[in-house]
């Protein structure tokens, strides 16, 4: 075959291959056209800007996330039981290293007991003096009892018998005087004695009678007055001695109790572990972050101050601070997810066990926080008290609901509006629409009514709204907007879309709302590219609200 014939064959072959490629391209183009035009209604509209969001159904989860620290729910607190002798408290002399696993009876710390030992010696002297006074008071009391018994059974009877003897003598003297007077009267009648002698005998009778009466009165006074008076005096001395004995006895008991108390305080200076566990110092921090109470050697501790914790590693919980604005959302029994800073890849299941009713005392700030305790439902080895943790408390959950980002919603009076993007016949329109909202989780909000799945809403709605000062119906507002040249800046029919390239609705710059949050439907931006592309010139459309 000649060279010209071979060239003709090669040329025809190349033309055939070219036509084959053209045919393949036409077939692919036809298939793509059929796919996009006939199947397009079943697909979710394509997002062309990072400021657009496609409404979808998904599970709504609202979680309260806070930071906290790990602690034991069954924690044995060991406190300082030594009374403070000064304003600073008691100094720490020795400490067991933190993290040591101890058994019951192990010495954890030793406090300074020198002042207590000196006070103990002084108190011993006071107790000895009190004991001596008690002995003296007891002797006085017993002496008073003996004095009363001595008077009743000795002195009184002796005086009574003596007076009765005097009465007997006086009665005998009176009888003799009377008989002698009778004899003298007979003698005087016969003239044997003188009248003077008779008068003397009469005087003797009167004297004996007077002496008898005096003895009887003396007995009466002894039995009715002297005895009662002496008994009163002796009883008063007994009661006084008894009261003094009680007082001295009570003083002695108080001094003795004080001595025992000081002795117990000296024993309390040696702190031992009541149970087995891992030693954790009770170092507290103030709101500024510095240590307010530090358990170190040489530091001072006050009475009833917590010095150590002996946690139970099998019952751990997280204590988190929750702000007052969100504490009403948290209740006991809510599920939670716990992530420890030391184990970020191992989330733990938890349950809210307790929520404090009163705020945490804070002298440095007016912000109110409340403690929330989340119990860890799993047994994980290696957990240590004091570890930092992140707690996510699930306060609300609704499955399969419509959601849109909060950035896509504008509050206008008592109504909520969003801007819906629609494309029809190559024409893009932005329509404000009133929607009914449900709860939100600070990123997304549930849409109860007003939107359908698959619709596209703008994440910068204020860019397309010129909100009036009064609340209007969204339909009437949309009609007014269409009469003014479009629903917003750069909209179809507006000034920005007539003869000004680069100012179409897809290239509208973001509004004052800032960058929208990340979420489903938001495409990633290439590295180094600004949101929305190059900043366009200010459009000449209606001013944004």
CB 147 within 8 A of CB 234: yes
Burial code (b: 16+ CB inside 10 Å, e: under 16) for 130-144 equals: beebbeebbebbeeb
Please give the sequence-ordered ranges of beta strands (E in DSSP) within 377-494, or none if there are none: 388-405, 410-412, 415-424, 427-440, 444-449, 456-458
**Three state DSSP letters for 205-235:** HHHHHHHHHHHHHHHHHHHHHHHHHHHHHHH
pTM (global) more than 0.75: no
How do residues 404-448 score in pLDDT, each as one tens digit? Answer: 999 899 988 888 999 999 988 888 888 899 999 998 888 899 999
pLDDT over 70, % of the chain: 74
- What mean pLDDT is predicted for residues 212-238? 93
Q: Burial of 58 by CB count in 10 Å (0-12 exposed, 13-18 middle, 19+ buried)?
A: middle
Nearest one of 445, 448, 442 to 326, comparing CA atoms: 442
- What mean pLDDT is predicted for residues 368-379? 90
Is residue 544 over pLDDT 60? Answer: no
Q: What is the pLDDT of residue 522?
A: 45
Residue the block writes with tokens 């751990």: 316
Q: What is the pLDDT of residue 497?
A: 36
User: Which CATH architecture group holds 52-57+400-507?
Assistant: Beta Barrel (2.40)
For residues 306 and 37, the model is more confident at 306
Distance of CA 540 to the CA centre of its chain: 59
CB 364 within 8 A of CB 287: yes
Token couple for 176? 């003799």
- Work out the pLDDT band at 5, boundaries 50, 70, 90: low
Q: What is the pLDDT of residue 483?
A: 58
CB 227 within 8 A of CB 153: no
CB 479 within 8 A of CB 456: no
Average per-residue pLDDT for the chain: 79
- How far apart CA 246 and CA 311 sit, in angstroms, is 50
- What mean pLDDT is predicted for residues 199-224? 92
Q: What is the pLDDT of residue 9?
A: 55
Q: Where are the domains of the chain?
A: 52-57+400-507, 63-111+277-284+292-396, 115-268
Domain 63-111+277-284+292-396 CATH (choose: 1.20.1430.10, 2.40.30.170, 3.30.390.50, 2.60.40.1220): 2.40.30.170
How do residues 442-492 score in pLDDT, each as one tens digit? Answer: 889 999 999 999 999 999 888 888 755 444 455 555 565 555 544 444 443
Token couple for 515? 């960058």
How do residues 12-47 score in pLDDT, each as one tens digit? Answer: 666 666 666 666 666 666 555 444 444 444 344 455
Token couple for 218? 């003396």
- 115-268 folds as Helix Hairpins (1.10.287)
> 4 phi and psi, to 5 degrees?
-65, -35
Among 95-104, 291-300, 524-533, name the most confident range: 95-104
CB 181 within 8 A of CB 202: yes
């Amino acid at each position: 075959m000649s060279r010209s014939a071979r060239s003709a064959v090669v040329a025809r072959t190349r033309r055939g291959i070219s036509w084959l490629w053209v045919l393949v391209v036409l077939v692919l183009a036809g298939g793509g056209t059929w796919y996009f035009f006939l199947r397009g209604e079943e697909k979710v509209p394509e997002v062309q800007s990072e400021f657009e969001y496609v409404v979808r159904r998904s599970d709504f989860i609202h979680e309260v996330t806070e930071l906290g620290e790990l602690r034991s729910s069954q924690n044995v607190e060991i406190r300082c039981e030594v009374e403070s002798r000064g304003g600073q408290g008691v100094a720490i002399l020795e400490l067991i290293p933190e993290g040591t696993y101890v058994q019951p009876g192990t010495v954890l710390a030793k406090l300074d007991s020198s002042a207590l030992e000196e006070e103990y010696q002084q108190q011993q002297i006071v107790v000895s003096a009190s004991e001596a006074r008690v002995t003296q008071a007891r002797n006085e009391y017993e002496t008073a009892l003996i004095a009363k018994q001595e008077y009743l059974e000795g002195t009184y009877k002796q005086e009574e018998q003596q007076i009765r003897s005097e009465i007997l003598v006086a009665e005998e003297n009176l009888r003799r005087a009377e008989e002698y007077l009778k004899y003298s009267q007979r003698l005087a009648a016969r003239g044997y004695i003188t009248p003077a002698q008779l008068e003397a005998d009469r005087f003797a009778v009167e004297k004996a009678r007077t002496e008898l009466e005096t003895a009887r009165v003396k007995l009466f006074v002894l039995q009715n007055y002297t005895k009662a008076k002496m008994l009163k005096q002796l009883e008063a001395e007994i009661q006084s001695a008894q009261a003094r004995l009680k007082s001295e006895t009570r003083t002695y008991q108080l001094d003795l109790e004080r001595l025992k108390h000081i002795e117990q305080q000296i024993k309390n200076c040696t702190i031992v572990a009541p149970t087995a566990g891992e030693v954790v110092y009770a170092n507290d921090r103030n709101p500024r972050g510095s240590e307010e109470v530090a358990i170190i050697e040489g530091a001072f501790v006050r009475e009833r101050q917590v010095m150590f914790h002996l946690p139970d590693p099998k019952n751990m919980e997280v204590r988190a601070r929750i702000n007052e604005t969100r504490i009403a959302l948290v209740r006991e029994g809510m599920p939670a997810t716990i992530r420890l800073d030391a184990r970020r890849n191992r989330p733990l299941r938890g349950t809210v066990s307790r929520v404090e009713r009163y705020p945490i005392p804070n002298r440095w700030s007016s912000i109110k926080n409340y403690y929330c305790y989340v119990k860890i439902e799993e047994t994980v080895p290696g957990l240590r008290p004091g570890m930092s943790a992140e707690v996510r408390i699930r306060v609300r959950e609704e499955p399969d609901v419509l959601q849109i980002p909060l950035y896509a919603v504008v509050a206008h009076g008592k109504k909520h509006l969003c801007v819906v993007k629609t494309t029809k016949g190559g024409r893009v329109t932005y329509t404000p629409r009133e929607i009914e909202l449900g709860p939100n989780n600070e990123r997304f909000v549930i849409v109860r009514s007003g939107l359908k799945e698959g619709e596209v809403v703008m994440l910068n709605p204020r860019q397309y709204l010129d909100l009036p000062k009064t609340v209007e119906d969204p339909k009437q507002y949309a009609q007014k907007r269409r009469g003014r040249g479009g629903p917003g800046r750069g909209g179809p029919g507006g000034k920005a879309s007539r003869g000004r390239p680069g100012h179409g609705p897809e290239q509208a710059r973001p509004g004052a709302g800032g960058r929208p949050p990340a979420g489903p439907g938001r495409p990633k931006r290439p590295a180094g590219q600004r949101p929305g592309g190059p900043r366009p010139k200010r459009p000449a459309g209606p001013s944004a609200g």
